[in-house]
């Protein structure tokens, strides 16, 4: 076994998605979810971010212009997980989805986090979530983290909008 351990500060820098229609994807990721367009690469790629980073998500049609939706059954990306800084921010995102009647594929309380699931226009899974404070994470007696999938109390989450 390898005894190398990746540095603790390492993060997933960005995800780059193959999409079939760049404008439609920008309408979803920027128009609905609120990411900012940083730059485009010709008419076939765009780079978007939160807070001015060079890009959190890349979108391109280089090999996928006009392609069908991503298959549900098959190898590939399960979902892109977008971590919101606060529970209220997640509630705002959920309310925006509800207001336009965007279909959700699920919602879950994972103990360590609360999550909303949906698909982008190409069928790529998207998870919108916020972490609970680390000291509230459920743990086993040995200190290991307990994660589970339970019903998310959507009404309670939306209650954040009134605080």
Model confidence over 67-89: pLDDT tens digits? 999 998 989 999 999 999 999 99
CA dihedral for 152, 153, 154, 159, sign (positive or negative): negative
pTM of the model: 0.94
Gap between the terminal Cα atoms of the chain: 50
Structure tokens, 113: 């986090």
What is the per-residue pLDDT across 108-133, written as a single tens digit (0 to 9) for each? 999 999 999 999 999 999 999 999 99
Query: Where do the domains of the chain lie, and which CATH numbers do they carry?
Result: 12-66 (3.10.180.10), 79-163 (3.10.180.10)
Q: Which segments of 20-136 are extended strands (E)?
A: 36-41, 45-49, 57-60, 79-83, 104-109, 113-119, 125-131
């Amino acid at each position: 076994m390898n005894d190398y351990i990746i540095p603790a500060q390492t993060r997933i820098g960005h995800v780059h998605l193959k999409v079939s229609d760049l404008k439609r994807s920008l309408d979803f990721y920027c128009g609905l979810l609120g990411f900012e367009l940083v730059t485009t690469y010709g008419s076939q790629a765009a780079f978007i971010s939160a807070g001015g980073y060079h890009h959190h998500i890349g979108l391109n049609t280089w090999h996928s212009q006009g392609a069908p939706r991503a298959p549900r059954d098959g190898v590939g990306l399960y979902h892109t997980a977008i971590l919101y800084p606060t529970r209220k921010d997640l509630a705002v995102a959920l309310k925006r989805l509800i207001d336009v009647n965007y279909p959700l594929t699920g919602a879950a309380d994972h103990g360590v986090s609360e999550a909303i699931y949906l698909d982008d226009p190409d069928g790529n899974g998207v998870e919108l979530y916020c972490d609970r404070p680390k000291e509230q994470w459920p743990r086993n007696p040995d200190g290991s983290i307990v994660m589970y999938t339970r019903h998310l109390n959507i009404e309670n989450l939306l209650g954040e909008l009134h605080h």
